[in-house]
Amino acid sequence: MGNISTIISREYSTRVKKKSFIIMTLLTPLIFVAFFLVPILIMGNEDKEFKKIAVIEDGTNLFKGVIRDRDDADFVYLENTDVNSLKNTFEEAGYYGILYISPVVTNVPQAVQLISKKQPPMDLLNYIERTLETDIENKKLKAYNIEDIDKILKSVQTDVSVQTIRIDDEGEAKETNTGVSMVLAYVGAFLMYMIVLLFGVQVMRGVFEEKNNRIVEVIISSVKPVELMMGKIIGIALVGLTQFAVWILLSFAILTVVKSTVLPDDPQQISEQITSSVMSQTGVDPDSEQLQEVLDLSAQEKEFARLFNNLMNVNWPLILTSFFFYFIFGYLLYASVFAAVGSAVDTDSDTQQFMFPIMLPIILGLFVAMGTMENPESSLAFWFSMIPFTSPIVMMARIPFEVPIWEVIVSVVVLIATFIGFIYLSAKIYRVGILMHGKKVTYKEMWKWIRYKG
């Protein structure tokens, strides 16, 4: 064991000390966080300029005072003003734009125009549309002369946004979000694909390098070939784990900083308020302080809070544990195959013919994983998450949608068994291959090596 740890530490330290490794390791979480953060910052930096908007109606006075002023906009109702004359002068008059409402609006949705020099923010447009819609609906209802119509209207006013709640085995309800599961599935599957490919190829290159620069004979006069091979595979696995550990820690650190600086309130608390106020009582007193507090939040803040809460409600222990196991054994399986290829080939270009059959299941796995997100319980998804060469990628895509635990265990056990079989075969190919020069290697040849004795 002394030798194998010496080999592992060389494989590990030479890679970890490389500049490219350090840069990759530190930069990736920053890019990752930026990926999330930039849209948030853009949203937060929306046009906050105060706007005065002139409201002009053509002939009628239906909407006077309907659109109420907001924090960022005043709506000034101008009677008896010609829209065409104001069109050229509204800027000098201090207006951001003109909201022109034609009398046909009750039947023709396109009858409203917002005339401005700049592109108005989405949020403002939504506000105007919603207000007008509600008002027109109310007016239409009133036309039926129902008694107490105002009171009725007030009480039926509703705002619906579907929240999905999944009840777990203990009967505990959790708010979940298909979007969040999708993202996790995608990230998990893609990371697994990257790991297998990135680190597997590193193993192949390392083996090939040793064979090619002829240091291998010196080393195997001290250690067994299989020790050298395993030392390399394990060393590179540790490099990968180090990288991921740094990535996870850095991402969390950055997210924590961001959370406390960018987001205004504690999103978790807000989200809990929303959920509890919805869940606890059916007949909510609309004037209750708690609900009012929630309703006071902007839609954007609520969305953030909910997203954050969904992330917290994900089954992280299961995902991270399975990720760890699939990482280790998926990598080991592929790394042993890659090591065999690296030992067998004589030139770089020879690797191509052997790369294809290895790449095939990896890419197939990724494709199935992408399809899996649409339907995580399909039999295709099930079988590909059991077959060892695709299971790491496909299962990582299924787990965020909650997979029965026995399926995960069976899949991991099958993976481990396959890995043991393959490492045995690879060691046999490796042992012969590393000392074989100047020969074009075929599958038939490799099969003969497997059957060599001694």
Partner 1 sequence: MPLLETENVTKQYRKHLALDKLSMSVPEQSIYGLLGPNGAGKTTLLRIINQITAPDEGTVELDGHRISRKDLAHIGYLPEERGLYKKMKVGEQALYLARLKGLNKQDAIKGLKEWFTKLEIIDWWDKKVEELSKGMQQKIQFVTTILHKPKLLIFDEPFSGFDPINAKLLKEEILKLREDGATIIFSTHNMSSVEEMCDHITLIDRSRSILEGRVDKIRNEWAAHEYEVVFRNTVNVANNSHYEVLNTETNNDKTTVRIKSDGQKDVNGIIRDMTDSGQLISFNPALPSMNEIFIRVVEANKNN
Which chain residues interact with partner 1 by CB under 8 A? 2-3, 6-7, 10, 14, 209-210, 213-215, 217-224, 435, 437, 448, 453-454
Question: What's the min distance (Å) between Cβ of 217 and partner 1?
Answer: 4
Q: Is residue 76 within 8 Å of residue 53, measured between CB atoms? A: yes
140 or 440: CB nearest partner 1: 440
Sign of CA dihedral 15, 18, 20, 21: positive
Helical H runs in 298-390?
A: 299-313, 316-344, 351-372, 379-384
* Cα–Cα distances in angstroms (integers) from residue 45 to residues 38, 42, 49, 262, in the given order: 10, 5, 11, 11
Tell me how far CA of residue 240 lies from CA of 51, 186, 200, 248, 324, in angstroms.
53, 20, 10, 12, 11
* Least Å from the CB of residue 442 to partner 1: 14
Q: Which is nearer to partner 1, 3 or 131 (CB)?
A: 3
Provide the 8-state DSSP code for 110.
Answer: G
Q: Distance (Å, rounded) from C-alpha 429 to C-alpha 444?
A: 12
3-class secondary-structure state, position 76: strand
The bridge status of strand 51-57 relative to strand 97-101 is parallel
What's 61's DSSP letter? Answer: -
- Backbone phi, psi, residue 90, to 5°: -60, -30
Here the tokens at position 348 are 């770089």
Pick 64 or 439: Cβ nearer partner 1: 439
Question: Is the dihedral angle over the CA atoms 360, 363, 369, 372 positive or is it negative?
Answer: negative
Q: Rounded to 5 degrees, what are φ and ψ at 366?
A: -65, -40
- Name the residue nearer to partner 1 (CB basis): 117 or 451: 451
Taking the complex as a whole, the smallest distance from the CB of residue 6 to partner 1 amounts, in Å, to: 5
Which of helix, strand or coil describes residue 392? helix
Smallest distance from the beta carbon of 222 to partner 1, in angstroms?
4
| CB nearer to partner 1: pick between 202 and 275 | 202
Which CB sits closer to partner 1, 154 or 224? 224
Task: Considering the complex, state which of residue 317 and residue 454 has its C-beta at the smaller distance from partner 1.
Answer: 454
CB of 313 to partner 1, least distance (A): 47
CB of 213 to partner 1, least distance (A): 4
Residue among 18 and 154 whose Cβ is closer to partner 1: 18
Q: Report in angstroms how near the CB of residue 206 gets to partner 1 at its nearest.
A: 10
Closest alpha carbon to 407 in 327, 320, 313, 322 = 322
- Structure tokens belonging to residue 280: 């606890």
Fill in the amino acid letter for 226.
Answer: V
Largest CA distance in the chain: 103
Q: How far is the CB of 118 from partner 1 (least distance, A)?
A: 57
Question: Phi/psi class of residue 94: alpha, beta or left (left: φ > 0; alpha: ψ in -120 to 50)?
Answer: left
Q: Between 3 and 163, whose beta carbon lies closer to partner 1?
A: 3
Non-local CB neighbours of 34 within 8 Å, separated by 6+ positions: none
What is d(CA 62, CA 136) in angstroms, rounded to the nearest whole number?
Answer: 9
- In the bound complex, what is the minimum distance in angstroms from residue 348's beta carbon to partner 1? 15
The least distance separating partner 1 from the CB of residue 18, rounded to whole angstroms, comes to: 9
The distance from CA 69 to its chain's CA centroid, rounded to whole angstroms, is: 38
Closest distance of CB 30 from partner 1, Å: 27
The secondary structure of 166-230 as a DSSP string is EE-TTS-EEEE-HHHHHHHHHHHHHHHHHHHHHHHHHHHHHHHHHHHTT-HHHHTTTS-HHHHHH
Residue 140 or 224: which CB sits closer to partner 1? 224
Q: How far is the CB of 224 from partner 1 (least distance, A)?
A: 8
